[in-house]
Amino acid sequence: DAGVIQSPRHEVTEMGQEVTLRCKPISGHDYLFWYRQTMMRGLELLIYFNNNVPIDDSGMPEDRFSAKMPNASFSTLKIQPSEPRDSAVYFCASSGRVSISGNTIYFGEGSWLTVV
């Protein structure tokens, strides 16, 4: 089974440039999450979607960050303009229907972003 697919795996860009990270969730999953991982702050939830609708974007650091989910099989996280402090690993994750007992989320392999 295909897991969560992210692209690019690695990106090096110059400060001020636009960065677009892409994610294809597992087919049939209706929750999609974007996380950022850094040494200093650990794993942070940026935003999550349910049925393509953003539910909680309180973790998005500032207006330079935006996320979209135009359909059930695709999402983007965009940073414009990028800054060196945005350097991190960005993970996309997806999960199936929520239940009261909780559910497993499946992570992609991450997009390693370096802004110089």
Partner 1 sequence: GNSVTQMEGPVTLSEEAFLTINCTYTATGYPSLFWYVQYPGEGLQLLLKATKADDKGSNKGFEATYRKETTSFHLEKGSVQVSDSAVYFCALIRFPYKYIFGTGTRLKVLA
**Residues 44-83, mask of contacts with partner 1 (x by CB under 8 A):** -x--x-x----xx---------------------------
Q: Can you tell me the distance from the alpha carbon of 28 to that of 67, in angstroms, rounded to the nearest whole number?
A: 20
Q: How far is the CB of 15 from partner 1 (least distance, A)?
A: 25
Contacts of 113 (CB under 8 A, 6+ apart): 11, 13, 19, 21, 79, 82, 86, 87, 88, 89, 90
Q: How far is the CB of 94 from partner 1 (least distance, A)?
A: 11
**Residues 8-47, mask of contacts with partner 1 (x by CB under 8 A):** -----------------------x-x--------xx-x--
Among 57, 66, 73, 107, binds partner 1 (CB under 8 A): 107
Q: Which is nearer to partner 1, 45 or 72 (CB)?
A: 45
Q: How far is CA 84 from its chain centroid?
A: 18
Q: Can you tell me the distance from the alpha carbon of 88 to that of 91, in angstroms, rounded to the nearest whole number?
A: 10
Q: Which two tokens stand for residue 95?
A: 């999960």
